[in-house]
Amino acid sequence: MTRPVALCCLLLGLTLLIPVGQAAPEGPPNALRLRNRTPFLVTVFIGGVRSGWIKPFRTELFRGLKSGQHTVYVASHYGSASWGPRKIAVPGTWNLTPPQNARTTEHLEEAMASRVYRRNRSSLVACDRLADRRGEPSAQSEFEIEVDAKGVPSITIKGELSKRRRFCYQSVAKTWDYPATGSGYLVNFQHSP
């Protein structure tokens, strides 16, 4: 059998395995895929039982579930936001997005600022060391980063800084990863050399 004929037979055989009028199941059988599109570390409860946790902006698969409907509840690690309870079919997928209410928007921005600063502090320290070698005075600085829905930042740095140190801070802050959450948010933090 030639290659194109064998490929056609294989594709025909695969289409016969999927019943007519039904879509192919999402994900592996007996598994639930949860996509965490928030800056929160979240805990997942399936059927009232704590089943695991998901890091910010990660996807996890919860395997070994029976096919059918399951009640799923998700809460942020410190309880500032929650999703559900919600009935979800297994196999299936649930995309967690940041909450829209005003109270958790503050927590969202605080969590995002903390996450961005922790992950990228070493690059600011590198700028400080270079400035110290040049003998430039050190001062506390305040970062105000406005991130749009697509994750593009607009950076403002306040404080009595030398021109070179401010340029270094802005240069490294532009390279940081700002997650696109579908809506704009602010990242404010202070940095002391």
Cα–Cα distance for residue pair 105/59, rounded to 1 Å: 22
| Region(s) of the chain under CATH 3.30.2420 | 102-191
pTM for the complete prediction?
Answer: 0.51
Burial of 119 (0-12, 13-18, 19+ CB in 10 A): exposed
118 band by pLDDT with thresholds 50, 70 and 90: confident
The CATH number of the domain covering residues in 23-96: 2.60.40
Cα–Cα distance for residue pair 34/97, rounded to 1 Å: 11
CATH class label, 102-191: alpha beta
| Residue 56 DSSP symbol | T
| Region(s) of the chain under CATH 2.60.40 | 23-96
114 band by pLDDT with thresholds 50, 70 and 90: confident
Q: With beta carbons less than 8 A apart as the criterion, state whether 111 and 40 touch.
A: yes
Residue pointed to by tokens 């007996």: 30
